[in-house]
Structure 1
Amino acid sequence: MQIIASILTAIVLIEHVYILWMEMFAWETVGKKVFGKSLSPELFKPTKALAANQGLYNGFLAAGLVWSFLIDNAEWAINVRLFFLGCVIVAGLYGAITASKKIFFVQALPAILAFIMVFITK
């Protein structure tokens, strides 16, 4: 079970590294492909700095999850992991409510599954 919890957490981590990259460095190319249906094409250039800011925040979430893998004390590692997965869940739920329901399935649901698995293997 602990291996599954670690794999699910790693998936959430990798997803947030991808989001960081897309929003900070590929907003006008990959970002346009991902969000092109919900944003008009002319909005990508003027929103580049806003997307980069969002990407940075996603990077902090990924960094927290990386940190949780590097902590030697098992209790602290789990607590840090649960905290950052909780942050991802809140961000995903907020995004699903305010921006797109798809964010729930892409961002919140994987974090919820990881959170549950980490919590029950505690």
Structure 2
Amino acid sequence: MRILLAVLTGIIAVLHLFFLVLEMFLWQTPYGMKTFHLTPEVAQSSAVLAANQGLYNGFFAAGLIWSLLIGDVRWALNVRAFFLGCVLVAGIYGGVTAQRSILVIQALPALVALIVLVLHRRSVPQAR
């Protein structure tokens, strides 16, 4: 379970680094506009908002990567649970308000990782 959780966390972190690059740096490029179905005018007028959104995705990635580097297992799981929970909430909100596919791309992986985390946490000895 520990390795599966680490792999899932790493994948989710990499996804959010990709979202950061896409929203902060590629938003107004042909690739960014195609990905988000934007016209050049809409891409230009929403670029600052997209960059802000990308920055938040970077914070999610940073927190998840941090959780992989923490030596204390219980503390690492707590940090990981927090950031996965943030990703899940953001994914649900985005899926409901912006685009349904966000539920599958962002929320579902976070939910799966949180389930694995809960199952793994049962095997970790309690601090005394």
Q: Same fold (TM over 0.5)?
A: yes
Alignment of 1:52-67 (within 5 A): 52-67=51-66
Q: For 1:62 and 1:71, locate their aligned partners in 2 and report how far apart those are by CA, in whole Å.
A: 15
What's the RMSD between the two structures over aligned residues? 1.0
Aligned residue pairs: how many?
120
Note the alpha carbon deviations across 1:31-70, whole angstroms, 9 max, x for none. Answer: 212111xx44420011111100000000001000011011
Report the AA paired with residue 21 of structure 1. V
| Equivalent residue number for residue 70 of structure 2 | 71
Pair member with larger Rg: 2
Greater length-normalized contact order (CA 8 Å, ≥ 6 residues apart): 1
Alignment of 1:98-117 (within 5 A): 98-117=97-116
Match of 2:5 in 1: 5
Where do 5+ consecutive residues of structure 1 fail to align?
Answer: none
1:26 aligns with 26
- The code of the aligned residue for 1:119 comes to V
Question: How does 1:12-51 map onto structure 2 within 5 Å?
Answer: 12-29=12-29, 30-36=31-37, 39-51=38-50
Task: Give TM-score, length-normalised by structure 1.
Answer: 0.94
Give the 4+ runs in structure 1 shifted more than 4 A.
none
Question: Which letter does structure 2 place at the counterpart of 1:7?
Answer: V
* TM-score (normalised: structure 2): 0.90
SS in 1 for 2:71: coil
- Taking the aligned partners of 1:35 and 1:115, their CA distance within structure 2 comes to 28
